Structure 1
Amino acid sequence: MKHDARSPQVISQIREFIMRPTVAAAIADAFVRVFPASSSRANVLKQTALFCGAALLVWLLSLTYGLDLSAGFF
């Protein structure tokens, strides 16, 4: 079996691919346990989190303004 230098990188990428949804699900489950579905505090928290996420997305997009992200860049 031939081993190349990319093997640890590939394993790391696979591990990250598997762990991200798992961590996201754990965080979501924690929020569900802390805040019941009918709680007004949960709705305020959810709206605040969505607003912060949208603001973060806009900020990240503004960082790439003027940057050449074509295929040749990579």
Structure 2
Amino acid sequence: MLMQSKVRYDDKSDVLYLFSDEGDIARSVEVSPGVTVEYGERGNILGVEILRASRVLTVSVIASLHAKQAGVL
């Protein structure tokens, strides 16, 4: 699952996106409200999008994501 994955968090839209550059997205499935999984041609997971991410992530996790995106971590 998501080998060599990357993480992006957009605090303005409060969306967390975990993704891989390993192929084209063949289909997307909302697995629960606000959580969408994107699958490749072979059924492999290419991405996971979490809306309203701050409701499921702690403040420290969000701070770590910001630091990682800024190149601090």
Structure having the higher strand fraction is: 2
Structure having the higher helix fraction is: 1
TM-score category by the smaller chain?
Answer: under 0.3
With the length of structure 1 as denominator, give the TM-score of the two structures: 0.21
| Bigger radius of gyration | 1
